């Protein structure tokens, strides 16, 4: 089977898993959001900042190193596993012991015990790094997909139950831990297991790759979490909770869909290093497909934010409407750029990856610091300014390394962006006509009308994009 066919098959199963788990997850989340308060979500957002950065440090890029080396000796695999276990245990202990300091740093004494407990997910994840990496390397995503579906169901079921019992932020913490336990248990039960070997002799190249990648990932995660870290100095925990819920909804397609695509692209592109024309062709296809879907979905989400929040979340969450109108606007650009960065990494350019992360680290937190002075809306608007500014320094170098032109990439995004802008205007105009209608009816009408306008405009200006998306959908269903 060709790499393209294996990648499509992997994407099919991974997407199916994400779809099922997300349907269950968001159905449960809608219940949880109505049971919990913005303050609970704000507290969890601060806990997640600490654990996300610590998890990136503990992972040390070792899973990606296993994926990167198709031919890895058994003993070397055991050594990498041993390093993973040691790092996971060490970082877990450090975070748990430092929980009071993190509470002091975030001006939130209530987060001490949640941080200590949530840190357990780090060592839990480290015990299953080998089966996960080996399945990913071979693009064997069917068992991974099934596991992800079960994990999503377990996590949200525990969260909903505990939220119903009045556990507050603990329902989110324990639900997350339940998902981590379910995932690692399933991977160990059904995946390939090896015994750890606590030695670093002979795995220097893999550790160097992991260190470089980990440096970039740690910086990246610290970067994307810097909005919460910086915002916490200016916004209350309630405001942070509103911001985090809006950001979670706005970036859901990127965190879920792009996480799947990147997981597949890394090994797939790595195998095409000796056939760069083919790799570039697949890159353009990926950019075209993501742009065709991401722009209308995310800009459409922004356009219907007032009705969506009122119908799904209830009156106590109406304050997040401005944030939900702003944040989705930049996400399609981030998704397209993410494809470029993943391709560059898969082709082995570790130095460029680190350089780009440093540039982003200088630009984005500065934007968040400035924007946070103007409260929740200012923090959201910082994304619209800082992200394009940072990409203006990084995307060109990545494109040059891959061997593609920026103009060609922009051409793949131009038609979907233009059609989505027209769709946005049509939705805004139709809202004026529907003034006074029941909110649910208005929401459904706006969604249907927006979709029809987008498809109609795309059919006029770029039928090619629609055909590509349609063919891909058929391949996903039948291939």
Share of the chain above pLDDT 70, in %: 86
> What tens digit of pLDDT does each residue of 266-310 get?
445 545 555 567 777 778 888 888 899 899 999 999 999 999 999
CA distance readout (Å), 125 to 85, 133, 219, 423, 424 = 9, 12, 20, 43, 42
Residue ranges covered by each domain of the chain: 1-233, 252-479
At residue 219, the pLDDT reads 76
Contact assessment for residue 57 and residue 79, using Cβ atoms and an 8 Å cutoff: no
Higher pLDDT: 156 or 4? It is 156
Q: Which of the given ranges, 21-25, 99-103, 140-144, 151-155, has the highest pLDDT on average?
A: 99-103
92: Cβ contacts below 8 Å, ≥ 6 apart: 54, 58, 119, 120, 122, 123
> What tens digit of pLDDT does each residue of 358-416 get?
888 899 999 999 999 999 999 999 999 999 999 998 888 888 888 888 998 899 999 99
DSSP secondary structure of 192-219: ---------TT-HHHHHHHHHHHHHHHH
At residue 257, the pLDDT reads 59
Separation of alpha carbons 148 and 125, rounded Å: 14
Higher pLDDT: 42 or 7? It is 42
At residue 15, the pLDDT reads 57
- What does the pLDDT average to over 222-249? 91
Separation of alpha carbons 84 and 129, rounded Å: 8
Residue from 471, 478, 139, 19 nearest 289 by CA: 471
Higher pLDDT: 61 or 368? It is 368
Average pLDDT, the chain: 85
């Amino acid at each position: 089977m060709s790499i393209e066919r294996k990648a499509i098959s992997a994407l099919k199963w991974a997407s199916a898993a994400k779809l099922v788990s997300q349907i269950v997850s968001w159905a449960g989340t809608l219940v949880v959001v109505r049971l919990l308060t913005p303050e609970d979500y704000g507290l969890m957002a601060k806990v997640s900042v600490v654990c996300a950065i610590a998890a990136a440090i503990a992972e040390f890029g070792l899973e990606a190193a296993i994926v990167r080396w198709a031919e890895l000796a058994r003993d070397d695999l055991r050594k990498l596993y041993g390093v993973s276990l040691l790092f996971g245990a060490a970082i877990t202990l450090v975070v748990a012991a430092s929980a009071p300091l993190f509470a002091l740093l975030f001006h939130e004494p209530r987060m001490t015990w949640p941080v200590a407990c949530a840190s357990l997910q780090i060592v839990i994840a480290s015990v299953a790094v080998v089966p996960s990496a080996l399945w990913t390397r071979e693009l064997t995503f069917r068992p991974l997909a099934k596991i992800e579906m079960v994990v999503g169901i377990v996590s949200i079921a525990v969260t909903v139950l505990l939220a119903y019992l009045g556990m507050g932020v603990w329902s989110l913490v324990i639900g997350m831990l339940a998902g981590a336990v379910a995932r690692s248990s399933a991977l160990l039960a059904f995946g390939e297991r090896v015994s750890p070997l606590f030695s670093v002799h002979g795995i220097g190249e893999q550790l160097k790759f992991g260190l470089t990648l980990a440096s970039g990932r740690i910086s990246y995660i610290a970067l994307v979490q810097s909005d919460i870290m910086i915002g916490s100095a200016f916004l209350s925990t309630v405001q942070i909770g509103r911001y985090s819920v809006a950001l979670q909804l706005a970036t859901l397609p990127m965190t879920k869909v792009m996480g799947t695509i990147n997981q597949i692209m890394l090994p797939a592109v790595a195998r095409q290093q000796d056939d760069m024309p083919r790799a570039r062709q697949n890159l353009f296809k990926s950019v075209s497909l993501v742009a065709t879907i991401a722009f209308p979905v995310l800009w459409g989400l922004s356009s219907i934010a007032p009705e969506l929040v009122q119908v799904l979340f209830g009156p106590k969450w109406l304050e997040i409407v401005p944030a939900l109108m702003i944040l989705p606007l930049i996400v399609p650009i981030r998704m397209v750029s993410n494809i470029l960065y993943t391709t560059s990494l898969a082709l082995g350019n570790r130095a460029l990856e680190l350089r780009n992360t440093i540039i982003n680290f200088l630009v984005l937190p500065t934007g968040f610091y400035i924007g946070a002075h103007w409260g929740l809306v200012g923090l959201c608007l910082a994304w619209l300014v800082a992200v394009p500014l940072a990409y203006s320094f990084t995307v060109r170098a990545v494109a040059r390394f891959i061997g593609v032109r920026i103009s060609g990439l922009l051409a793949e995004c131009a038609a979907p962006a233009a059609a989505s802008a027209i769709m946005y205007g049509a939705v805004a105009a139709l809202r004026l006509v529907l003034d006074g209608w029941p909110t649910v009816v208005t929401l459904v009408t706006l969604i249907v009308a927006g979709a029809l306008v987008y498809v109609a405009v795309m059919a006029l200006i770029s039928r090619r994009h629609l055909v590509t998306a349609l063919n891909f959908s058929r391949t996903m269903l039948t291939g």
